[in-house]
Chain A
Amino acid sequence: MARMQIYRGMKIGEAKQYVADKLGTSLRDIHDAVAMRELREDLRIGTLQPLAGHPKGIEAKYNISKLLDIEFNSIRASRKRIEG
């Protein structure tokens, strides 16, 4: 939700709907910590307690970026540092 506000200037209601749609879930579930924990694992976008073999940090950001359809500046800069 914060990313939609920062990157697209969306108000909170619009941001929640956009994220729910992109994650393929309901507005009810994006407010549910239990449901979101499972969804984050399924979508490989990082969980509160890190899981072995699952994306962390910038790896998770990469997947979130693809899901939300926004190129994060952090991903762009990281790619530039890797590729030179």
Chain B
Amino acid sequence: MAKIHSRMGDGWHVEISEVELKQELENGTQDAVTQSNLLPLSQDELDYLFDICKSGNKMSGVESGREVVMSYDGPTFEIRRLGILANRQTAMQIYERCFGADSIEFSHIDYSYKQVKPIIHEEIPQFEQLQSLTIAPMLYGAMPNLGLYTKPDGPVENPSELMPMGKVKEAQAAYEEAIELSVSDMVFVASEFYEAGCDGINFDTVGASGDPDFKATLVATEKLKEKYPDINIEIGMAGEFVLGMHGEITHNGKRLAGMLPHEQVKMVEAAGANIFGAVMNTQTIKSFPWNLARSITYNKACTEVAKIPVHGNMGIGVGSLPVCETQPAEIVSMASKAMVEIANLDGL
């Protein structure tokens, strides 16, 4: 029987049989079911996934008419990471005109709201200038990144040092202090860019520091919506579930730790955000088909309950894509096609 080219979650090539491919897809969706009580993909959906993964084509694409919005984070430094000597304005134009980006994001290489705050007077004029050049909606993006508020980078005691000492209450208090500081910075920076004319604000990798990080973002979103009712906010997550770094933080009566994408999106909606970026983490010791079926199972559950658009985060190690620097084109395009057509995402 002919072998099918596929890859593992770390990007390395592997060959599997049709029987193995079917089993990997089945196992992937069942893993999601076991962990979360979600519904598995139907047999029709698994058969369709099988056809996509078996195709052997270098590039796959969505069916005509199923095109979705493509949004990006960090385009200003992605171009320079390739060694291309382009300033941020040029990078944004490359994304708009060469890559077909439907929305673009102005950002700083030190991609955190705390770091942007002291240099915002330098950021705003360049941002305003770029608004004159571009047509696509332009957001401003950065990370809440609560870790930066803890020692040695910030003023707050470091919970990662307190926890192993058994000082749980002190660690929780430190997280709560970091939340307040982070909310203040996010509201300040977002306000400045709103006044400068940004089409929206992107809070990126939300939850990277766990439940305190998610809490800070929800609170900042609510404060911004109260201050500017027509501000547009996109919240993109860092991981598939919210880590319980504090463990007891709640928002609107719901504990944030442990939330999965279909639960995260409801919190984000309630806070007033306009777009939700769902994340599924790739497991490197599992195959791409396994990761894909699992990712789609979770994303589909998310889009089914979401009232706002859901953009599947797809990049290194997320959205079923492998954890490797140079992404294999056949995997990226297969995953994109499958995520859009089966998970019914509104964008990528």
Contacts and interface: CB of A to CB of B under 8 A. Distances in A.
B43 interface: no
A47 B67 CA distance: 19
Given A2-B136, A6-B137, A77 B309 contact: no
Interface stretch (B19-27, B125-133, B244-252): B125-133
B103 interface: yes
Interface string A1-43: 1110111111110010000000000011001000000000000
Interface of B is mostly: loop
Interface residues of B, number: 38
Given A12-B309, A31-B67, A57-B135, A2 B102 contact: yes
Nearest to A55: B135
B229 interface: no
B124 to A, nearest CB: 10
Contacts of A10: 309
Contacts of B194: 73
Interface of A: 1-3, 5-12, 15, 27-28, 31, 45-46, 48, 56-58, 60-61, 64, 72-78, 81
Given A11-B309, A77-B131, 20 more contacts: A2-B71, A2-B347, A3-B199, A5-B347, A6-B275, A8-B274, A9-B274, A9-B308, A11-B346, A12-B345, A12-B347, A15-B69, A15-B346, A46-B135, A58-B132, A61-B135, A72-B199, A73-B231, A74-B138, A78-B197
